[in-house]
Structure 1
Amino acid sequence: MSSGDRIAPAAALAAALSETAGAIESLLDLLLRAEPEGGEIHRPARLLAAMRHGSLGGGKRLRPFLVVETARLFGVPAAQALRAGAAVECAHCYSLIHDDLPAMDDDDTRRGRPTVHRAFDEATAILAGDGLLTLAFDVIADPRTHADGETRAAIVLLLARSLGLGGMVGGQMLDLAAEGRFPEDGGSGRLGEFEILRLQAMKTGALLAGSVAIGARLGQADPARTAALERYGKALGAAFQVADDILDVEASPEQMGKATAKDGARGKATLVAALGLEAAKRERDRLSGEAIAALDLFGPEAALLRAAALFTAQRKS
């Protein structure tokens, strides 16, 4: 059987993404209900509305899909995998809310709707992001996500390392520095290919790779399978960001649901800027192929994960 025969058809992937997105939407709706959880005092209505605005009603839900589909390889109950996926999505949505703020990328639209700071205000948006990030760890720490405390602690660590100083937040700082915002730190802000790849591996790739790692940890994957999934997650995360850079050049705001053509105007560090558009496309496709090849150990059971890597390279939004 060729590797191509083990990649699920696009229609099958679309159906699986839609099913997971629907399940995650329902779970987030439940997690963000007005009634306080045990130990909570009160849920302010405006804050709750902003958190719901920033997390419900849109998005491909690729990160929770990666959690759920990776966990499925090891027979993890769907309810556990969905809770872990919902936690990852809360963390992702927090990052989008903060990324859109005037002090960061200053975006007015996200997923075809006003960004949270436009729909509410900046202070509420900051708190909504804080609330979603905290909720992510709340969900993981809950025994309903996994009965074993050691497993929950391991997932907390994976998520924290994906998001923090050496992951997404650190990558965001490198991105701001690459725009030349901090001349007092020295340097022109211009980055070479190595520095761009490192920045993107942190800012975008870390949480995508972390989503795969969380699914593997839920499933108690053995070292060989864990290593294969780590290779897959890192390559997929890198391909996703290169594809995003390309879409910023080629896609319309209507396709993306947000403003485009902003990277070049701001002098952002991208592989398109460093290598040129055609070379960036070749690198995107190479990384997608690397991700697909990393799953050889899993046979046809990983067909949807292979299709996700192909989708990452070919997506139009």
Structure 2
Amino acid sequence: MNLQQLFQDFNPSKFVVHSCLLVFVALFALRLDNHVTWSFWCVFTPIWLWKSLVIMGATVGSYVWWKYPHFRLEGEAYIHFKSMLISLAIHLILLMFELLVCDKIESERYLWILVFIPLIFISIVSIAVCIWAVKHDRSFELELFCAVNVLQFIFLALRLDGFIGWSWEVVFVPLWIVMCLSLVGVLYTIIFAAILLRTPEVNAQQRKSSFQSALGYTFLVIPILIFQVLLANKLDGDIKMSYTAVASPLFVSFITLIIMSFSAKGGNKWWFGMRKDFCSFVLGACPLLQEYGNIAYNSERRTNGVELEQRSEKTELSNIKKADLLKPVLPIISIELPD
């Protein structure tokens, strides 16, 4: 296990977001099944933690930006900083939606269409944000999700308020379309990985990365599709399952996303004013970890002490040979003394 290689491409932002969503979905399903009787304000605790970290990270990053003007000259500092501010604005509007949802569930004071207004606004704004992100080579997963689901959010609000009486299978039509396109992408990655595995000219690293991508996207999209089918049938009353069982495929997708965050790379370097990769920042902040970060651990299977002794003997012999090679070679001169 090489710790430095493990955390070299680690994306802490995606790890935090997907971990919080995993815990939230589990708590929300348990609350709907009445396995826990907590208030929904407590059930939304992982969401509040996620948004608190975003606000804190942007605040510290903005302070470092204004405190140290010479940091602004570092590469693409302006683009990274603008990206952080855009992400902060979207998260604040999303926080407004989550507060309204929580208050609506607890009090039933207003219509769902009013609750979904911030989310619909985010979806419209996200289209422009996606265009900006493509031009500046920035990631835009959350913005893309909101942009392609604007019609789905409108259908959900109208169905929850009773303005339309469609079945939930029809309400989820925009999401079915998105999932079909995702399945096409998964099929493409599987075919591409199979072609690379049978191509001898491709190196082992490319084969491994393509196979991991195909495996990751398969375990990401297929469980979401199964969850969507189960949820539509559950809401329509066609099946009798607990919400925890319905949400169980979604846990597989979130666990896959958490694992993929260790090889996601990227990330904004201005969160919390780090200005560097997460691994480099942690090693710089904790110098004691540098010793362990540069060590690779190998798990070896030993049945008895014979294998260990043989390996130690081989090691000693190799060390002796190396020592012999390192000895200086001196010429031997014979000196004959006269009688």
Normalising by structure 1, we get a TM-score of 0.32
Larger radius of gyration: 2
Normalising by structure 2, we get a TM-score of 0.30
Question: Which structure exhibits the higher relative contact order, with contacts defined as CA atoms closer than 8 Å and separated by 6 or more residues?
Answer: 2
